[in-house]
Amino acid sequence: MPPQVDSGDTAWVLASAALVMLMTPGLAFFYGDLVREKNAIATMMQSFVIIALVSVIWVLWGYSLAFGPDHGGFIGDLSWFGLRNVGSAPAPYAPTIPHLAYMAFQMMFAIITPALITGAFAERAKFSAVIVFVALWVTIVYAPVAHWVWAQNGWLSTLGGLGAYDFAGGTVVHINSGIAALAAALAFGKRLGLGRMPMEPHNVPYVVLGAALLWFGWFGFNAGSAVAAGAPAANAFVVTNTAAAAAALAWLAMSWLYQGVPSVTGAATGAVAGLVAITPASGFVGAWDAADGYVDILPALIIGAGAGAICYGAARLKHWLDVDDSLDVWAVHGVGGTWGALATGIFATSLVTQTAGFRGGIGGAIDGRPEQLLAQMAGIGATWGYSFVMTFVLLKALDAVMGLRVSPREELLGVDLAQHGERAYAR
């Protein structure tokens, strides 16, 4: 029987797309209030305008390059340029929803990924440089990596490649953005006065609001990646919440132990780290046991708690390395995504993967397949290398052509007034 569109699955994926879209405004609150007051608007503006910019790029050529007909396992072609051949028929990657719905869902992932990078160069970037960088980065970096991992014949894909597991974007979104953020921090250089001037968050309550919106939207991010309204989506929902909670507690405990206070900013950041780490694993761990009828929640707890502790350590390591990744994008997304991808290779269970028809076997090390870790490391290494090199080269080229940073005078004045002519708070 040919594939048929299911109204329930379609409704769930469209609702999930809306949830993921909300994550980028949530990120704007999270990032915009972690910076100093004089840079709040500029930081939020970057996230907001990326929604518009990437939406246009995605429907014109981004989706076709990422998911279109394969060329050598590396990139799609332009057969679907301008959404040609993308319509109401069942999606190639999700046969119970319209192709157009799958495209829209994937668009929201493409939007938030470059928005995450902006936290690395917060408080010093020229708006024009951000616009050009994002347009090029989505085309040159995001689309190929998405194709490698998620397209039918991508060279890392579970469907036709090496068999790396990435359910909802641990590699494509988080490692990709986190490593790009490290390259960006190095290319932009440090903020003026770093270590000499106070640079604490200017609005902690809104930081927590932003983190809460991210947590809320992440249910669409992970559970929506089941692209069907059923047990796998419910399982992804539960393990996502569990890992976020465990990571928030772990980061809170680490900050309390090493800094002497239980930081609410730390708890919020820890929750995000847990969400990052569970993303690649959310469809591969914690499945119902057919015999006993329970959910094995231990892997989600381990992945979440590990993310809270490891990412906290990475944030402290950043200071020792003297790298000005302003908002810890590398520590949370790069390191958190790497831990999550490795943990997926350890804890993936055949209870999930046996029904997916994946090439190269089912389950991970916990199921007697330690070789799955090799596929995970291939995905990690390829994304680390490609994202870092391409991002750094791209930014250096843009710096030579148009400059990346505002002037020292504008940076001291504040990027809000210098670049946008506005203040966050009228007094």
CATH number at residue 188: 1.10.3430.10
Please indicate whether residue 359 or residue 156 has the higher confidence score (pLDDT): 156
Residue 386: helix, strand or coil by DSSP? helix
- Are 288 and 294 within 8 A, CB to CB? yes
Residue 299 CB partners (closer than 8 Å, separation 6+): 239, 281, 285, 286, 343, 347, 349, 366
pLDDT, tens digit, 9 for 90 and up, residues 27-61: 999 999 999 999 999 999 999 999 999 999 999 99
Lowest mean pLDDT among 72-86, 118-132, 273-287, 344-358: 344-358
Distance CA 278, CA 306 (A): 10
Q: Which helix (H) or strand (E) holds 71?
A: strand 70-71
Does the pLDDT at position 370 exceed 90? yes
Question: In this structure, is residue 258 part of a structural domain?
Answer: yes
Q: Which domain holds residue 132?
A: 7-420
pLDDT at 287: 64
Distance CA 14, CA 220 (A): 9
Residue 297 CB partners (closer than 8 Å, separation 6+): 238, 239, 242, 286
Residue 91: helix, strand or coil by DSSP? strand
Distance CA 186, CA 175 (A): 17
- Are 213 and 44 within 8 A, CB to CB? no
Question: In this structure, is residue 1 part of a structural domain?
Answer: no
Task: Give me the phi and psi of 193, to 5 degrees please.
Answer: 80, 5
- How do 70-71 and 94-98 pair as beta strands? unpaired
| 287-313 CB burial, b ≥16 within 10 A, e <16 | bbeeeeeebbeebbbbbbbbbbbbbbe
pLDDT, tens digit, 9 for 90 and up, residues 163-219: 999 999 999 999 999 999 999 999 999 999 998 888 999 999 999 999 999 999 999
- The residue among 380, 418, 396 whose CA lies nearest residue 156 is 380
pLDDT at 291: 57
pLDDT, tens digit, 9 for 90 and up, residues 265-291: 999 999 999 999 999 999 999 865 655
Grade residue 360 by pLDDT with cuts at 50, 70 and 90.
very low
Residue 171 per-residue DSSP state: I
Q: Compute CA 37 distance to the chain's CA centroid, rounded to the nearest angstrom.
A: 26
Q: Is 394 exposed, middle or buried (0-12, 13-18, 19+ CB in 10 A)?
A: buried
Does the pLDDT at position 144 exceed 50? yes
Distance CA 364, CA 342 (A): 10
Residue 26 CB partners (closer than 8 Å, separation 6+): 209, 210, 211, 212, 213, 214, 216, 217
pLDDT at 367: 86
Does the pLDDT at position 387 exceed 80? yes
**Tokens in use for 291?**
């015999």
- The residue among 419, 284, 261, 298 whose CA lies nearest residue 355 is 284
Residue 75: helix, strand or coil by DSSP? strand
- The string of DSSP letters for 34-68 reads TS-GGGHHHHHHHHHHHHHHHHHHIIIIIHHHHHS
Residue 165 per-residue DSSP state: -
pLDDT at 355: 53
Residue 16: helix, strand or coil by DSSP? helix
Rounded alpha-carbon distances, angstroms, from residue 115 to 17, 121, 173, 198, 284: 16, 11, 10, 25, 27
The residue to which tokens 């409704």 are assigned: 11
Please indicate whether residue 129 or residue 368 has the higher confidence score (pLDDT): 129
Distance CA 75, CA 276 (A): 25
Residue 413: helix, strand or coil by DSSP? helix
Number of domains in the chain: 1
Question: In this structure, is residue 425 part of a structural domain?
Answer: no
- Are 338 and 380 within 8 A, CB to CB? yes
Q: Could you tell me what percent of the chain has a pLDDT over 70?
A: 95
Does the pLDDT at position 326 exceed 70? yes
pLDDT, tens digit, 9 for 90 and up, residues 335-353: 999 999 999 999 998 766 6
- Are 67 and 150 within 8 A, CB to CB? yes
**Tokens in use for 242?**
């569990």
Question: In this structure, is residue 191 part of a structural domain?
Answer: yes
pLDDT at 357: 47
pLDDT at 293: 60
Distance CA 5, CA 369 (A): 35
Question: In this structure, is residue 373 part of a structural domain?
Answer: yes
Residue 324's DSSP bridge partners are: none
Question: In this structure, is residue 426 part of a structural domain?
Answer: no
Residue 357 per-residue DSSP state: T
Question: In this structure, is residue 363 part of a structural domain?
Answer: yes
Distance CA 100, CA 107 (A): 10
